[in-house]
Amino acid sequence: MSKPVFCLLASKDTSASVLYGLYDVLSNVGPDYEDMLGGNIGDARIDVKIVASGSDSFHCLGEVPVEPHASIDQIEHADVVVVCDMYLSTTDSPIGRYPHEVAWLKRMYARDALLCSVCSGSTVLAETGLLNGLEVSSHWGYRHLFREHYPRIRWTEASSLNLSAESQRLITTGGVTSWQDLSIYLIEQFCGLHHAVQTSRVFLLSKHSDGQLPFAAMSRNSQHSDALIGKCQAWIEENYHLSNPVAEMAQYAELTARTLARRFRAATGYHPIEYVQGTRIEAAKQMLEAETTNIEEISSAVGYEDPTSFRRLFKRKVGITPTAYRKKFSSIAKRSRQDAVHANGMDSQKH
């Protein structure tokens, strides 16, 4: 029985961690687990190839060398193509960046390949037009980029592994480490659950079961295209805790509520109340990460007198409860504070 062929599409804008993480895991399905149990190295279950627009070696992000197994023009068939992340700034246009790769992806799709993307690799898939009308995930930071450049795509930032278009042979994922979710899923589909579990155990891989929302943050770039809205953004940063901040902001801007809403959405992509809510939630996150203040006090501090309403909004925006968020991230903040205290102590000893 022939092995399934997986092609990992890379470029100079690809992260080494994504490319080589995928390659390491997928190319070792079978051998590693058997070797660890009894010293017997079995056969690899997947034929994994790193491919690029050309066959010459190049450097990806971080100046890490990449030596493709083949150029895309040399690949006539693949069971799976994974478009690795192709980093671009959230303010850059993705249009027309990879015409050679896009044409090849269309050919592979026409030949029944399953097309997948990791993180910003979804912008390359979007260029094919195959994602139009479908629900798509990418890194949460690209929300405005997708809405601006790909209005026919239904964007969601909640999923780490988005299988909603799997029946159309299209899978998209969230941020860079979502390659782990994708790899385990693909191993299960092409090699069976047994090998997926074995690989998870060898590489200590687990799914991002909470999705991306706990990690996402609201984009709050200050607007220069509309100076007044930029001032309103700064005003919100100082006054989000007020009981009716949108109405007071309209007074501050000397605009009607309707005009403010229209200009604010045009400049930021958010309705004013969405922006206020997002700012409040980001402030609450910081308190949950760094303090032991109870939830009721945090709720009041960010402008919600009803803790139940605050909890409900927090879970809708973040995907988990405030208590679960604190448990997930406070240990990181605690270790950072301990490291800072330790470092200060060492400095004091030196002096």
Task: Give the pLDDT of residue 341.
Answer: 46
* pLDDT tens-digit series, residues 141-169: 998 899 999 999 999 888 899 999 999 99
Structural domain count of the chain:
2
**Cβ-proximal residues to 343 (8 Å cutoff; 6+ apart), any chain:** none
Task: Give the pLDDT of residue 337.
Answer: 47
Together in a domain, 67 and 210: yes
Together in a domain, 151 and 249: no
Task: Give the pLDDT of residue 209.
Answer: 76
Together in a domain, 136 and 35: yes
Together in a domain, 199 and 234: no
Q: Which H helix or E strand runs over 343?
A: helix 322-350
* pLDDT tens-digit series, residues 181-191: 999 999 999 99
Together in a domain, 47 and 174: yes
Task: Give the pLDDT of residue 49.
Answer: 97
User: Is 212 strand, coil or helix?
Assistant: coil
Sheet strands (E) in the chain: 5-9, 47-52, 58-60, 64-66, 70-71, 80-83, 114-117, 135-136, 154-155, 161-162, 170-173
Together in a domain, 178 and 49: yes
Is 342 part of any domain?
no
Is 232 part of any domain?
yes
Is 220 part of any domain?
no
Task: Give the pLDDT of residue 210.
Answer: 78
Is 345 part of any domain?
no
Q: How confident is the model at residue 99 (pLDDT cuts 50, 70, 90)?
A: very high
Q: What percent of the chain shows pLDDT beyond 90?
A: 71
Is 281 part of any domain?
yes
* pLDDT tens-digit series, residues 130-143: 999 999 999 999 98
Mean pLDDT of 42-54: 92
Task: Give the pLDDT of residue 336.
Answer: 46
Torsion of CA 200, 202, 203, 209, to 10 degrees: 20
**Does residue 199 register a pLDDT over 60?**
yes
CB 81 within 8 A of CB 108: yes
Task: Give the pLDDT of residue 340.
Answer: 45
Together in a domain, 205 and 232: no
Together in a domain, 232 and 134: no
CATH number at residue 127: 3.40.50.880
Mean pLDDT of 72-79: 96
Is 343 part of any domain?
no
Task: Give the pLDDT of residue 260.
Answer: 95
**Cβ-proximal residues to 341 (8 Å cutoff; 6+ apart), any chain:** none
Q: Could you tell me the CA-to-CA distances from 21 to 18, 206, 237, 265, 336 in Å, in that order? A: 5, 14, 39, 39, 27
Together in a domain, 111 and 205: yes
Amino acid of residue 107: R
Pick from 186, 215, 244: which residue ends a domain?
Answer: 215
CATH number at residue 259: 1.10.10.60
Is 349 part of any domain?
no
State the residue range of the domain holding 307.
227-334
Q: Which of 94-103, 146-155, 203-212 has the weakest average pLDDT?
A: 203-212
* pLDDT tens-digit series, residues 244-302: 999 999 999 999 999 999 999 988 889 999 999 999 999 999 999 887 889 999 999 99
Q: How confident is the model at residue 332 (pLDDT cuts 50, 70, 90)?
A: low
CB atoms within 10 A of CB 58: 16
Together in a domain, 276 and 167: no
Is 339 part of any domain?
no
Pick from 190, 215, 240: which residue ends a domain?
Answer: 215
Q: Share the mean pLDDT of the chain.
A: 89
Pick from 187, 215, 243: which residue ends a domain?
Answer: 215
Residue 335, token pair as written in the block: 């270790």
Together in a domain, 263 and 316: yes
**Does residue 3 register a pLDDT over 50?**
yes
Together in a domain, 130 and 9: yes
